[in-house]
Structure 1
């Protein structure tokens, strides 16, 4: 069972990492005007949705391999991950399955409340989702040792959690601009890095145990 957990953690983390990198690339292409509607939003929400379940499984695997005395922290991290999943999944599915198709049909006025625009309902859903992701990584920090490879995973999770105030600022600053998004750019490094390092940790631990 433990080997299976390590394998699931590794592959899920790898998928989450590549999905996050793809999301970041598409987001940058949108900002630079290379991609336009609807392809930009389809790819952004699509790749974002691809992060959700793999990241959840990666954190679930972490909970299962955490030492008993650290289960409180892994359980807390898992709870915040589930909250992240709930909020962002609702947003991405609504945007992909309802907002974009209805907009292409010329019926955007009928679903304005569902559109993710600055300070809208689903904008807030997205914001709280990524805030919960930050909390998940913060509460996971004590799980990792301060030595060996786990030290680097620990640092990556800590640094990623410290980016959360920037996410709060970007989402909730009263006046939105594309320039404001650049303030949140550290997330584009810390999020995939933490996912990748945790995945590598699963692989290393699995190789040691075999």
Structure 2
């Protein structure tokens, strides 16, 4: 049961990460514009948060007792990430985007995410830093699955380049590697759970 649950939670996390990544890239190249770009970015991002927490919970439950501290650390960091970013995205979808559509307001100016120097941008970056650290710690729970552990670590090592974007926005060029490492990590985690279910 745990393996099946973990498989589908990992698939969901991978799907929503990709569903966020594609519109983000299309926005950067100018193929998506407001408000569709922000809606298509923030909706899957909001769904990604609980999906990753559920995948992390399944990993904790499936981890051998002697290595469980690593998956527990990953789960705690995943929860911290999910709370922070969920608040950010609900504010974007329920308040900021409608305010922009109404012609702009103090709400849009003060609470718009993804603008350099904006408070919620910093909160969002902190959230994704914690998410990356969650996979870094969780790598200690899957040492027997070398490919998964390596990708978890690779995703975790992106963490400094996420939080430091608050001071050095150009680091987004390195932080954007998350668009590859995180979905790959979730795909490999799904495979990990599928093998466990068959075993």
Deviation at 1:111, TM superposition (A): 4.3
What is the TM-score when the length of structure 1 is the normalising length? 0.89
Alignment of 1:137-148 (within 5 A): 137-146=135-144
Deviation at 1:20, TM superposition (A): 0.7
RMSD of the alignment, in Å? 1.4
Structure 1: segments with no counterpart, 5+ residues: none
1:114 aligns with 2:105: no
Deviation at 1:139, TM superposition (A): 0.9
Distance 2:174 2:64 in 1: 37
What is the TM-score when the length of structure 2 is the normalising length? 0.94
1:43 aligns with 2:40: yes
Deviation at 1:64, TM superposition (A): 0.4
Alignment of 1:164-203 (within 5 A): 164-173=159-168, 176=169, 181-203=172-194
Q: Which residue of 1 aligns with 2:123?
A: 125
SS of 1:37's equivalent in the other structure is coil
Q: Which residue of 1 aligns with 2:153?
A: 158
Q: Which moved more, 1:162-171 or 1:189-198?
A: 162-171
Distance 2:39 2:167 in 1: 24
Structure 2: segments with no counterpart, 5+ residues: none
Deviation at 1:107, TM superposition (A): 4.0
Deviation at 1:47, TM superposition (A): 1.3
SS of 2:152's equivalent in the other structure is helix
